[in-house]
C-alpha cells in the first residue's frame, strides 16, 4: 500500500518535473533549424550502400593530412585540446562512478587527436555538451570547443552548418522500449505512444519529419534522460542512434531494442567549417586509428560486450 | 345558556362600549412630543434627581466603555505579542531553516556524486541530517501554523515532495554504485526537481511566514488609540461633572466620583505606560532579533545557493554557463557594500553585540571562500578540471572553497542563535505585561463604575 502510494507520488512529481523540462526544451526547439525533406522515402533505404542517401554525401570529408594552420597553431599555443563530449553515454563518453573520470570509445578518439596534435593524450579538456547545443557551440565565436566527439551523426542539415571528419562509425535509428510492451516493429513500438528523443538529435529530427504515429514527443537535453523518463513512466519509448540505444539497454535489463533498425547513417567528429587544418588533421588521426588497430582495440574494450561483432558498425 | 342572553349579555359587550377600555391604556398615542414612558423619562430628567440619574448613567456608560475597550485592545495586543514570540517568529525561522536544509541536501548530494567512491561518510551523514531536519520541520510547522491555509498548502506540498526527492537521490546512488551513467541522469533529474519545484515552494512558505510575522508585530505594537481617547473622555467627563456638582451643592469633594476619577486615571496611565513599555520591548525585539535574523537568513540562503551553483557547475562540466552566471549574480549581491540587500558587509552593522564577533569571523571566512573560488575558477579557465575539483571540494581537506564556505556557515549559524536569544529576551515578557495591563484596565474600570454609582447615589439620597 505504502509502496503503491509512493509510486503514485513519484509518478505525479515526475510528470511535473517533466513538464518543466519540456517547457525549457520547447523554447530551445523554437530556435532549431528546419528539418530537411520528409523522412518517408528515406525509410525505404536500408542497404548499406545507401548510407547518406540524401541530397549530399555524408561520407565525404577533407583529405587527411598534417598541415599546421591557424587552428592547430591556436591549440598548440593554448597547450590543450578542448573536446565536447557526453558524460552519460554508457561506453561512449561517460563518467566512471568510481574514479569520477570520463571515459569511453569517443574519449579514446579525443585522446588520440590530442596525442597527435600535442604529443600527449592527456592534454585534453573534456567539456560535456548537451545534445541540443552541439552545432551552436561549434559555430560560436570565440569557439568554446575545438571539436565534438560525442556520438554525432552526420546529416545533410548539419553539414550546412558545420564540418565533419570522415565517418568513424556506422549507425542507424533504433527504438528502445520496455520488454513488457512486446513491440514487434517500429510502427508498433512508436504508434500512439509518448516518444522520447534528445533535443536536436538526429532522432528528434527524424520524429519531426516522420512521427511514426507517436502520440506525443518529449525532448530532454540528453538521450539518457529519456531512460529516466521511461523508468518513471513519463515516456513509453525512445528513438535514438543504435549506438546510444545499445548503451541504454545495457543499463536497464527491462528494456529492449524494439523493431527493425532504419535510416542508416555515419557518425563523425564535428568541427567548425573554417578549421580546415584541424579537419584534415583529424582525418589523418582517424586513418591511423583504423590502420593501427586503435579503433579495433577501443571497440573491443568498450563496445564488443554490448554490441558483438563490429562488422556492421565499421564504416569502411 | 347562549339562548338566554340573545342581546349580548356578559360574553358579548354591547357595540357602543367597545372603545372604553382603550381609553385607559397609557399608549394613547400621540398626544404630545414627550408622552409615554419616554416622555415621562424626559420629564423626570428635568427634575434635579432625574438629572443626577441621567448624568450617572452617562458616566457609568463612558467608564464601562473605556474599561471594555482598554481591556480588549490590551488583550488583543497581548495575544499578538504571544503569537509573535511563540509562533510566527519561530515559524519564520523554521521556514528559513527548512529552505537551507533542502538547498544543502541538494548541494551535498551533488558533491557526493562528484567525489564518487571517495565520498566521506560525513558527507553522507550531512545529507541525511539535512533530510531529517526538513522532515522534522515540516510537520512541526504544520502543527504550529494553525489556520494559515496558504502555509498549510505549501507544507502539504513539501511533505509530498520531500520523499519523492529522497527517492530519486537514492535511486541515483544505487545506480551510480553499479557504475552506470544512468545514476548521474537520475541525480540531474532530482536536482532539477529540487531547484525548480521544491525550493520555490519552500521560498514561498518562508515569504508567507515572514508576512505573518510582520502582521503579528504590527498588531502587538499598535497604539490603542480608541482606549486612550475613551479614557481621556471618561476622565474629562468625571472631572467636569464634579465641578458641576460643586457649583450646585457647594460640597468640594464627592468621594465616590473622586475614587472613580482616580481609578480611570490609573487605568489610563497604566494603558499608556504599558503601551510605551511594550513598544520598547517590541522595538528591541525587532532591531536585535527580527531584522538582523532576516538579513542573516537572506545572506545564508544566497550563500547556500552560490555554493550549490559552484558544485553543480562542476557536475555539469561546462555543459552550461547557467551555474557560472548564477554564481556571479549571487556573489555580486553578497559582496555588495553594507546597505545592499543580502550583503555580507551589512550583517555586522545590523547585529546586536553578542552576534557581532561571530559575524566578523564569518565575514573573513566568506572572503576566504570567495578567494578560493576565484583561484579554482582560474584553474577551470585553464582547462584543469581535476585541479578545479581539488580546489573546490576534496574530502578531508581544509583548504578548499567548500571548507571555507562551511566555516562561514557555522559562524553564521552561531550568530543566528545569538540573535534568536536576543529576540526571545526582548519579546518574551511583552505579552505578560500586556495581559496584566488588560486585567488591570478591566478591574480599575469596574472600580470606577462602583465609585460613580456610589457618588451619584449619595447625592440622590439627599432628595428622599
Res. A227 pLDDT band, cuts 50 70 90: very high
Q: Residue with C-alpha cell 519531426?
A: A208
Of A32 and A57, the structure prediction assigns the larger pLDDT to A57
What number is the average pLDDT over the span A138-158? 92
What number is the average pLDDT over the span A192-203? 94
Q: With an 8 Å Cβ cutoff, are A88 and B184 in contact?
A: yes
User: Domain holding A242: CATH number?
Assistant: 3.40.190.10
- What 3-state DSSP class applies to A176? strand
What number is the average pLDDT over the span B224-245? 92
Average model confidence (pLDDT) for chain B? 86
pLDDT at B115: 82
User: Are residue A146 and residue A273 in the same domain, yes or no?
Assistant: yes
* Domain annotation covers residue A13: no
Helix ranges (H only) for chain A are 2-30, 40-44, 70-78, 105-118, 134-139, 156-159, 186-190, 202-209, 223-231, 242-251, 276-291, 294-298, 304-307
Res. B247 pLDDT band, cuts 50 70 90: confident
Report chain A residues whose CB lies below 8 A from the CB of B116. 96-100
Distance between CA B109 and CA A99 in Å, rounded? 17
Report chain A residues whose CB lies below 8 A from the CB of B389. 100
* Domain annotation covers residue A291: yes
pLDDT at B34: 53
Average model confidence (pLDDT) for chain A? 83
Mean pLDDT is lowest, of A5-9, B124-128, B213-217, for A5-9
Mean pLDDT is lowest, of A140-144, A190-194, A280-284, for A140-144
Closest CA to B460 of B256, B272, B294: B256
pLDDT at A27: 33
Domains of chain B by residue range:
51-312+340-459
* Domain annotation covers residue A286: yes
* Domain annotation covers residue A274: yes
Mean pLDDT is lowest, of A143-147, A163-167, A198-202, B250-254, for B250-254
Q: Which residues pair with A265 in a beta bridge?
A: A171
pLDDT at A54: 56
* Domain annotation covers residue A81: yes
Best of B110, B179, B185 to substitute, by most chain A Cβ atoms within 10 angstroms, is: B185
pLDDT at B252: 75
Of B398 and A17, the structure prediction assigns the larger pLDDT to B398
* Domain annotation covers residue A24: no
User: Are residue A107 and residue A183 in the same domain, yes or no?
Assistant: no
Cβ contacts from A onto B, under 8 A: 101
* Domain annotation covers residue A42: no
pLDDT at B146: 66
Distance between CA A285 and CA A81 in Å, rounded? 14
* Among candidates B117, B176, B318 on the partner chain, residue whose Cβ is nearest the Cβ of A127: B318
Q: Indicate whether B263 pLDDT > 90.
A: yes
pLDDT at A9: 41
Report chain A residues whose CB lies below 8 A from the CB of B181. 87-90, 94-95, 97, 224, 251
What number is the average pLDDT over the span B12-28? 44
User: Are residue A187 and residue A159 in the same domain, yes or no?
Assistant: no
Q: With an 8 Å Cβ cutoff, are A13 and B196 in contact?
A: no
B276 part of contact set with chain A, CB < 8 Å: no
ipTM value, please give it: 0.77
Q: Indicate whether A53 pLDDT > 60.
A: no
Mean pLDDT is lowest, of A229-238, B98-107, B181-190, B241-250, for B241-250
Q: With an 8 Å Cβ cutoff, are A98 and B179 in contact?
A: yes
User: Are residue A120 and residue A256 in the same domain, yes or no?
Assistant: no
Q: Helix crossing, B89-115 with B149-177: angle to 10°? A: 10
pLDDT at B132: 96
Which residue range forms the structural domain that includes residue A288? 70-168+269-313
Q: Indicate whether B134 pLDDT > 70.
A: yes
Report chain A residues whose CB lies below 8 A from the CB of B318. 127-129, 144
B179 part of contact set with chain A, CB < 8 Å: yes
What number is the average pLDDT over the span A220-224? 87
What number is the average pLDDT over the span B15-19? 44
pLDDT at B19: 43
Q: Which residue of A has its CA nearest to B160?
A: A9
Share of chain B above pLDDT 70, in %: 90
* Among candidates B114, B178, B320 on the partner chain, residue whose Cβ is nearest the Cβ of A100: B114
Alpha-carbon gap: A127 to the closest alpha carbon of chain B (Å): 5
pLDDT at A176: 96
- What 3-state DSSP class applies to A174? strand
User: Are residue A181 and residue A235 in the same domain, yes or no?
Assistant: yes
Interface of B with A in 49-88 (CB under 8 A): none
Contact A83, A149 (CB under 8 A): yes
Of A11 and B328, the structure prediction assigns the larger pLDDT to B328
User: Are residue A256 and residue A299 in the same domain, yes or no?
Assistant: no
The three grid cell numbers given for residue B191, joined into one nine-digit string: 536536482
What number is the average pLDDT over the span B69-84? 93
What residues of A are in the B interface, CB distance below 8 Å?
A: 6, 9-10, 13, 16-17, 20-21, 80, 82, 87-90, 94-100, 102, 125-130, 133, 144, 222, 224-225, 227-228, 232, 251-252
Q: Indicate whether A141 pLDDT > 90.
A: no
Res. A8 pLDDT band, cuts 50 70 90: very low
- Tens digit of pLDDT for each residue in A175-188? 999 999 999 999 99
**Parallel, antiparallel or unpaired: strands A81-85 and A147-148:** parallel
What number is the average pLDDT over the span B355-359? 88
pLDDT at B350: 65
At A249, give phi and psi (nearest 5°).
-60, -35
Mean pLDDT is lowest, of A214-218, A240-244, B112-116, B293-297, for B112-116
* Domain annotation covers residue A37: no
Judged on CB neighbours under 10 Å (0-12, 13-18, 19+), B23 is: exposed
Res. A280 pLDDT band, cuts 50 70 90: very high
- Tens digit of pLDDT for each residue in B269-282? 999 999 999 999 99
Alpha-carbon gap: A250 to the closest alpha carbon of chain B (Å): 9
- Tens digit of pLDDT for each residue in A238-260? 999 999 999 999 999 999 999 99
Alpha-carbon gap: B179 to the closest alpha carbon of chain A (Å): 5
Domain count, chain A: 2
Contact B191, A221 (CB under 8 A): no
Distance between CA B419 and CA B289 in Å, rounded? 5
User: Are residue A239 and residue A107 in the same domain, yes or no?
Assistant: no
pLDDT at B254: 86
User: Are residue A99 and residue A208 in the same domain, yes or no?
Assistant: no
User: Are residue A154 and residue A294 in the same domain, yes or no?
Assistant: yes
Residues 6+ away with beta carbon under 8 Å from B318: A127, A128, A129, A144
* Among candidates A10, A126, A129 on the partner chain, residue whose Cβ is nearest the Cβ of B164: A10
Q: With an 8 Å Cβ cutoff, are A17 and B193 in contact?
A: yes
Distance between CA A306 and CA A104 in Å, rounded? 13
Q: Indicate whether B196 pLDDT > 60.
A: yes
What number is the average pLDDT over the span B148-164? 92
Amino acid at each position: 500500500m505504502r509502496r503503491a502510494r509512493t509510486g503514485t507520488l513519484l509518478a505525479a512529481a515526475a510528470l511535473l518535473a517533466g513538464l518543466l523540462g519540456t517547457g525549457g526544451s520547447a523554447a530551445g526547439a523554437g530556435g532549431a533549424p528546419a528539418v530537411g525533406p520528409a523522412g518517408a522515402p528515406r525509410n525505404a533505404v536500408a542497404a548499406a550502400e545507401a548510407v547518406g542517401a540524401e541530397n549530399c554525401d555524408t561520407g565525404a570529408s577533407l583529405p587527411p593530412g598534417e598541415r599546421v594552420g591557424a587552428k592547430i597553431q591556436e591549440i598548440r599555443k593554448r597547450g590543450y585540446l578542448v573536446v565536447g563530449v557526453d558524460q552519460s553515454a554508457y561506453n561512449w563518453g561517460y563518467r566512471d562512478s568510481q574514479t569520477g573520470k570520463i571515459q569511453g570509445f569517443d574519449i579514446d578518439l579525443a585522446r588520440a587527436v590530442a596525442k597527435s596534435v600535442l604529443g600527449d593524450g592527456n592534454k585534453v579538456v573534456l567539456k560535456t555538451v548537451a545534445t541540443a547545443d552541439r552545432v551552436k557551440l561549434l559555430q560560436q565565436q570565440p569557439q568554446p570547443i575545438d571539436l565534438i566527439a560525442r556520438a554525432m551523426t552526420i546529416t545533410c542539415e548539419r553539414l550546412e552548418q558545420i564540418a565533419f571528419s570522415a565517418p568513424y562509425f556506422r549507425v542507424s535509428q533504433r527504438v528502445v522500449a520496455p520488454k513488457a510492451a512486446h513491440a514487434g516493429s517500429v510502427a508498433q513500438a512508436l504508434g500512439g505512444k509518448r516518444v522520447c528523443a534528445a533535443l536536436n538529435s538526429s532522432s528528434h529530427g527524424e520524429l519531426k519529419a516522420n512521427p511514426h504515429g507517436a502520440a506525443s514527443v518529449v525532448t530532454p537535453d540528453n538521450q539518457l534522460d529519456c531512460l529516466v523518463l521511461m523508468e518513471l513512466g513519463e515516456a513509453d519509448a525512445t528513438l535514438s542512434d543504435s549506438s546510444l540505444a545499445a548503451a541504454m539497454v545495457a543499463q536497464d535489463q527491462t528494456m529492449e531494442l524494439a523493431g527493425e533498425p532504419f535510416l542508416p547513417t555515419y557518425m563523425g567528429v564535428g568541427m567548425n567549417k573554417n578549421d580546415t587544418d584541424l579537419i584534415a588533421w583529424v582525418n589523418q588521426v582517424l586513418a591511423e586509428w583504423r590502420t593501427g588497430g586503435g579503433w579495433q582495440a577501443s571497440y573491443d574494450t568498450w563496445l564488443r560486450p554490448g554490441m558483438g561483432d563490429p562488422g556492421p558498425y565499421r564504416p569502411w | 345558556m347562549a339562548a338566554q342572553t340573545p342581546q349580548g349579555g356578559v360574553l358579548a359587550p354591547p357595540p357602543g362600549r367597545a372603545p372604553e377600555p382603550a381609553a385607559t391604556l397609557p399608549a394613547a398615542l400621540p398626544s404630545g412630543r414627550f408622552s409615554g414612558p419616554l416622555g415621562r423619562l424626559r420629564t423626570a430628567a428635568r427634575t434635579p434627581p432625574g438629572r443626577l440619574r441621567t448624568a450617572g448613567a452617562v458616566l457609568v456608560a463612558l467608564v464601562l466603555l473605556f474599561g471594555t475597550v482598554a481591556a480588549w485592545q490590551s488583550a488583543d495586543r497581548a495575544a499578538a505579542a504571544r503569537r509573535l514570540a511563540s509562533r510566527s517568529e519561530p515559524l519564520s525561522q523554521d521556514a528559513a531553516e527548512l529552505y537551507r536544509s533542502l538547498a544543502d541536501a541538494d548541494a551535498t548530494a551533488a558533491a557526493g556524486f562528484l567525489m564518487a567512491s571517495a565520498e566521506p561518510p560525513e558527507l553522507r551523514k550531512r545529507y541525511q541530517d539535512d533530510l531529517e531536519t526538513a522532515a522534522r520541520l515540516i510537520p512541526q510547522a504544520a502543527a504550529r501554523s494553525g489556520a494559515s491555509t496558504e502555509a498549510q498548502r505549501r507544507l502539504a506540498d513539501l511533505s509530498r515532495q520531500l520523499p519523492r526527492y529522497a527517492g530519486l537521490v537514492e535511486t541515483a546512488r544505487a545506480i551510480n554504485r553499479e557504475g552506470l551513467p544512468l545514476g548521474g541522469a537520475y541525480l540531474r533529474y532530482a536536482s532539477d526537481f529540487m531547484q525548480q519545484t521544491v525550493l520555490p515552494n519552500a521560498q514561498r512558505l518562508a515569504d508567507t511566514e515572514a508576512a505573518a510575522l510582520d502582521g503579528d508585530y504590527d498588531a502587538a505594537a499598535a497604539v490603542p488609540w480608541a482606549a486612550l481617547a475613551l479614557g481621556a473622555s471618561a476622565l474629562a467627563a468625571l472631572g467636569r461633572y464634579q465641578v458641576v456638582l460643586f457649583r450646585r451643592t457647594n460640597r468640594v469633594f464627592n468621594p465616590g466620583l473622586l475614587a472613580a476619577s482616580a481609578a480611570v486615571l490609573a487605568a489610563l496611565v497604566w494603558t499608556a505606560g504599558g503601551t510605551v513599555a511594550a513598544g520598547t520591548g517590541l522595538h528591541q525585539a525587532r532591531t536585535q532579533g527580527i531584522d538582523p535574523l532576516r538579513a542573516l537568513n537572506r545572506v545564508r540562503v544566497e550563500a547556500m545557493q552560490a555554493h550549490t551553483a559552484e558544485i553543480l557547475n562542476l557536475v555539469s562540466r561546462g555543459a552550461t554557463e547557467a551555474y557560472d552566471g548564477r554564481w556571479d549574480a549571487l556573489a555580486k549581491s553578497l559582496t555588495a557594500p553594507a546597505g545592499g540587500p543580502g550583503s555580507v558587509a551589512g550583517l555586522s552593522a545590523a547585529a546586536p553585540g553578542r552576534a557581532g564577533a561571530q559575524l566578523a569571523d564569518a565575514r573573513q571566512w566568506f572572503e576566504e571562500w570567495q578567494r578560493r573560488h576565484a583561484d579554482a575558477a582560474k584553474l577551470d579557465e585553464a582547462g584543469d578540471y581535476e585541479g578545479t575539483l581539488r580546489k573546490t571540494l576534496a574530502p578531508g581537506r581544509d583548504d578548499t572553497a567548500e571548507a571555507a564556505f562551511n566555516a562561514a556557515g557555522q559562524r553564521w549559524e552561531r550568530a543566528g542563535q545569538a540573535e534568536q536569544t536576543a529576540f526571545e529576551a526582548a519579546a518574551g515578557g511583552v505579552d505578560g505585561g500586556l495581559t496584566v495591563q488588560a486585567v488591570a484596565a478591566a478591574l480599575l474600570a469596574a472600580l470606577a463604575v462602583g465609585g460613580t454609582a456610589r457618588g451619584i447615589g449619595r447625592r440622590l439620597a439627599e432628595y428622599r
